[in-house]
Chain A
Amino acid sequence: MYIDPHIHMVSRTTDDYQRMALAGCVAITEPAFWAGYDRSSPQGFHDYFRQLTDTEPKRAAQYGIRHHTWLCINPKEAEDPVFAREVIALIPSFLKCESVLGIGEIGLNKNSRNEVEILEAHLDLAAAHDLMVLVHTPHLEDKLKGTRLIMDAIKNQGRLDPSRVLIDHVEEHTVGIVLERGFWAGMTLYPDTKCTPQRAVDIFEMHGTERLWINSAGDWGQSDPLAVPKAQLEMRARGHTEAAIRKVSFDNPMTFLSQSGRFKIA
């Protein structure tokens, strides 16, 4: 049994829901993200938010998987602050949906000033509505700098409890600084640009299993919706106990997400 706490099912087939269910997935959370192209209007986001809050929960339910979501405009579309603020203004009307857990995946992409401005706007929205936050950290060479800027922005906001914020896509050079500052950390099992299952298990061995989870971040790119059960296999092959495997792939996401008061398993 496992939870995949970060996967973009709007980009996956119904067959993937079936395979995930067969592999033991009982619940997922789906952050709003970039579609691979910039939307041309805020109305495009309104439709996307309907898909996340209405269509996907029904599709997941066919396979006994509980679907939850996080809403935002992704940092890749934050370079136009006027447009981004129009999208952010749509979010409050969706917060009444029971499957919305909070704001995410917000963060930075290229660490630009406009991205920081829109990150701060999202953090203010989360604080105003007492919402949890799921954070995307930048890719590759931009990750270390972006992670530092994001943590500073959260601290500067002043009203967000780090224990209700998960900073995702950590790797060996960022996991320590994220955990040290009291945040939860997510390891994304993604080919070429993030963690392999082997490296994720290394990180558990070096940093422990407190406030850490694993996810697939499966999306429209080359990615693997079964990455979490594959990491479970890696842990098992390396002699980790079933209790440890359950902790990182079920108990930890359950603990973090339950703080929302809305997270449920099927």
Chain B
Amino acid sequence: MAHAPVLLSKRALIDRSYLEHRAKVLDLAAFIDRVERASGEDGDDFRMRALQACCALLLDGKPHRAQRVLELLSDQTLDPIAKAGSKGATGAVPPVAGGAR
């Protein structure tokens, strides 16, 4: 897939963008903490499970992480659904759709 080299060195990329991504990791950690501290019965929400699966994928040491995260969050079925029940998307595959849709 590599078509053109990344023009900056590893060190230059890290110097340029480490703090930005450190902040994003902290945002994610704080978000998970916030959901855990909140009241309600939705601790097993499919979107939170999807986020955990994405985090695990980031640590598997394999390349093309962005592509694989998007695939993990995608409906993998092939046929059109009978009717569009809503206009919006959730960002992860709802349980009803996960394999059944």
Instruction: Tell me the smallest distance from the CB of A150 to a CB of chain B, in Å.
Output: 11
The answer to whether B40 has its CB under 8 Å from any CB of chain A is no
Secondary structure of the B contact surface, majority rule: loop
Q: Which A residues are CB-close (under 8 A) to B2?
A: 205-206
Q: Which A residues are CB-close (under 8 A) to B4?
A: 204-206, 208
On whether A145 and B78 interact (CB within 8 A), knowing A79-B83, A112-B83, A208-B3, the answer reads yes
Count of chain A to chain B residue pairs whose CB atoms are closer than 8 Å in the complex: 99
**CB-contacts of A75-116 with B (<8 A):** 76, 79, 109-116
Q: Which B residues are CB-close (under 8 A) to A243?
A: none
On whether A205 and B6 interact (CB within 8 A), knowing A141-B73, A145-B75, the answer reads yes
A94 vs B87: C-alpha distance in the bound complex, in angstroms?
28
The answer to whether A129 has its CB under 8 Å from any CB of chain B is no
Contact B80 A109 (CB under 8 A): no
Instruction: Tell me the smallest distance from the CB of B66 to a CB of chain A, in Å.
Output: 4
A residues engaging B (CB < 8 A)? Answer: 34, 76, 79, 109-116, 138-145, 148-149, 171-173, 176, 193, 198-199, 202, 204-208, 237-240
List 27 A–B pairs whose Cβ atoms lie within 8 Å, in order of A's numbering.
Answer: A76-B87, A110-B87, A112-B82, A113-B81, A113-B82, A113-B83, A114-B83, A114-B84, A116-B80, A139-B88, A140-B90, A140-B91, A140-B92, A141-B74, A141-B89, A142-B74, A142-B89, A143-B70, A144-B74, A144-B75, A145-B76, A145-B78, A173-B71, A204-B4, A207-B3, A238-B8, A239-B8
